Structure 1
Amino acid sequence: MEELAGSGGKRLRPLLCYCGWLAAGGTGDDAPVLKVAASLELFHMFALIHDDVMDASESRRGRPTLHRRMADDTDTRTTGDGRQRLRGDDADRLANNCAILVGDLALVWSDELIHASGLAPVQLRALRPVLDAMRTELMLGQYLDVRAACDLEVDVDMALAIARHKSGRYTIERPLQIGVALAGGDDEVLRSCSDFALPVGEAFQLRDDLLGVFGNPAVTGKSSLEDLRDGKATTLIALALRQADANQHKTLTRLFGDPELDDSGAAQVRELLIATQAVETVEQMIRERWRQGMEALEDIPFRDPGRSALRSLAVEATERQA
């Protein structure tokens, strides 16, 4: 877990939490706030580890995923007279089970860190409803994502709903609101955070959809074939299927979700995503949502340097290359 925590990542949720605290007028000892922010990263580690097991992902942040590493590291067991290799399904089952337990541990420790943070009772009361909502919404988004991967057709509305729960709310809105709540922000300020956070969070996910197919694996740390092989229900794919002609649609449905898809097939999919104007449509959606978020940010009674930091984070989240 320590190696995974130190292997990179954007730390976006802890940053948003701390910036929200600053922007809402947080002052004084920030150690408890930093511990809450760190707990969000531990919770995110739990989510990443379990997500990688569900998706059978091979890489994360430029290195093998935890369950793949554990399959390599724990493929032997000691017997009475030597070492016997675990192979195939047995090794994978052991690795997956161990990875799930490490993810569970990250979840438990994230809660322990909050309780040991030194927050005042009034801060804990303000924190819990937002934190509870964030956790529930992530599980719903993940459930929708898993279900959508089994559908033969990818629906634009469903893809956007998944983006809203897994990124709009979980990645941007709730971490920001947690920081604001810790600073004593009232309900009106918490609600106004959504006007900024939800469109920026959706733009974040839409950028992620593009990077999952067109990104450089050396930069993203993730294969550019994985989302296509898994049949990941993204807005990008949904738009391409909706805007494709009959021949394009037939080719897309044949290649998309093929677990044996190779580089040549992936290149065909990318060409079709461009030809159907799905890529340009997604880019337009990102620009529009970023604009909405920036306009909303100016109307929230935030202070600097928190406000300017949030503006910079929104740019980074939507224009990133990884």
Structure 2
Amino acid sequence: MRGLRPTVAAPLADDPLTAGDAARAVEAELGRVLDAALGRARDADPVSARDIADRVASLVLRGGKRLRTAFVWCGWRAAGGSGDATSVLRTGAALELLQGCALIHDDLMDGSPLRRGAPAVHVDLAGLHEDARMAGSSEAFATSSAVLAGDLALAWADDLLTETALGSPYGARLHREWQAMRGEMVAGQYRDLHAQATRASGVDEAVDIATLKTALYTVERPLALGAVLAGAGTAVLGALRPAGRCAGLAFQLRDDLLGAFGDPAVTGKPADEDLRTRKLTYLLAIGSGLAEASGDLEAADLLAPGAPSVSDDAVCRMRAELERTGARAAVESRIAELAGAGLRHFDRTGADPSVRREFAAVVERASGTAPERTGEAA
């Protein structure tokens, strides 16, 4: 694994760090953190280090947009942060490790075969031992091992955040934000599972799940974590929280569209899973509602979230109906509205115009839409 360590150098303390710099520099920080973590894992047990710890490190280092680190930086700068950005990078690295935990467990729960252009961790583990395959127990072995891999990523994330908090004058506040975020992540994942089990189909529930599972821990909490590192007051945090929630929802709605219409060669994950399983997403809930409102009960039934899984042919028809009913266009419009609202909320922090421009650029990357600031904040 040491050969995978990034070579990107972090900017010096007095260099003018940007959101893009932070997103790139966190690669080097992750390399340092993972080198140390892998060393401890090998000291504890070389077998689990080789099979579990190395796979966790490989996933974390294998791409990702590092958006959470960029949002930590934006929150830090909006609150007046400047100079040495080590705590920002370490908090960003902790978030990337937490994301590793979320991806491993989410792929396992959803049965997703791919992640970041490679086999998902549980799929990779299923082929690890010939004895398990011969005994027909490779699936149980892979499932149990993937749970442990996700747990290890979470432990590494907690260790790093705790170390960062202990070295910060705002450590107690930083840790409270982190605690809240972890609880929200678990709640969001459970609500996702609960919606599948109960065949939930409502737009409001889709938004609740997207908020808990994605918007809070991808944008709102990272912004707040960064702001807290700069000692932010209530006014700045009061602007950043809705800014993050709006931008985070825009990000999740874009992910919904990519899950239905994206190219796996670009996204690194399958493009039809959400449709095949008729998972409750904002896109599917809107599509089903539009079809029902138009009196097209056949299309409404086809697009109904929570219904039994469908065939490849039905997935193709679902895509066509999402286009025909206007659901795809409606979601695109809502993404633009949310992204624009996020920018307007962020403007209320009083951040320097250069920081506002960088936040806008990160939101555009996350949402796939160039946001506009017209109108009132949502």
TM-score (norm 1): 0.90
What's the counterpart of residue 96 of structure 2? 41
Structure 2 residue runs of 5 or longer lacking an equivalent are: 1-55, 370-378
Confirm whether residue 221 of structure 1 aligns to residue 249 of structure 2: no
1:137-152 correspondence runs (5 A):
137-152=184-199
CA apart distance, 1:257: 5.1
Confirm whether residue 94 of structure 1 aligns to residue 141 of structure 2: yes
What's the counterpart of residue 247 of structure 1? 298
CA apart distance, 1:115: 2.7
What's the counterpart of residue 216 of structure 2? 169
Deviations 1:251-295 (A, max 9, x none): 334x97554521x22110001111111111111111111121122
1:47-66 correspondence runs (5 A):
47-66=102-121
Matched-pair identity in %: 38
Q: Which amino acid aligns with 1:16?
A: F
Q: Which amino acid aligns with 1:252?
A: L
Query: For 2:307 and 2:273, how far apart are their aligned partners in 1?
Result: 9
1:116 to 150, 163, 188: 163
Q: Which amino acid aligns with 1:100?
A: V
Q: Which amino acid aligns with 2:139?
A: D
Q: Which amino acid aligns with 1:60?
A: R
Query: For 1:238 and 1:306, how far apart are their aligned partners in 2?
Result: 36
What's the counterpart of residue 261 of structure 1? 311
Deviations 1:190-222 (A, max 9, x none): 121022111111111111111100001111111
SS at match of 2:124: helix
Structure 1 residue runs of 5 or longer lacking an equivalent are: 78-83
Query: For 1:173 and 1:159, how far apart are their aligned partners in 2?
Result: 18
What's the counterpart of residue 5 of structure 1? 60
Aligned structure 1 segments of 4 or more residues deviating by more than 6 angstroms: none
CA apart distance, 1:231: 2.3
Query: For 1:277 and 1:312, how far apart are their aligned partners in 2?
Result: 28
Compute the RMSD of aligned alpha carbons.
Answer: 1.9
1:316 to 365, 369, 378: 365
Are 2:235 and 2:349, in contact at CA under 8 Å, matched by a contact in 1? Answer: no
What's the counterpart of residue 289 of structure 1? 338
Tell me whether 296-305 or 95-104 shows the greater mean CA deviation.
Answer: 296-305
SS at match of 1:18: helix
Q: Indicate how the Cα distance of structure 1 residues 157 and 260 shifts in structure 2: closer, same or farther if over 3 A, else same.
A: closer
What's the counterpart of residue 81 of structure 1? none
Query: For 2:183 and 2:306, how far apart are their aligned partners in 1?
Result: 30
SS at match of 2:199: coil
Q: Indicate how the Cα distance of structure 1 residues 116 and 304 shifts in structure 2: closer, same or farther if over 3 A, else same.
A: farther
1:191 to 209, 216, 238: 238
Are 1:228 and 1:256, in contact at CA under 8 Å, matched by a contact in 2? Answer: no
Report which structure shows greater RCO (CA 8 Å, sep ≥6). Answer: 1
SS at match of 2:236: helix
Query: For 1:118 and 1:128, how far apart are their aligned partners in 2?
Result: 6
SS at match of 2:212: helix
Tell me whether 218-227 or 304-313 shows the greater mean CA deviation.
Answer: 304-313
Are 1:23 and 1:302, in contact at CA under 8 Å, matched by a contact in 2? Answer: yes
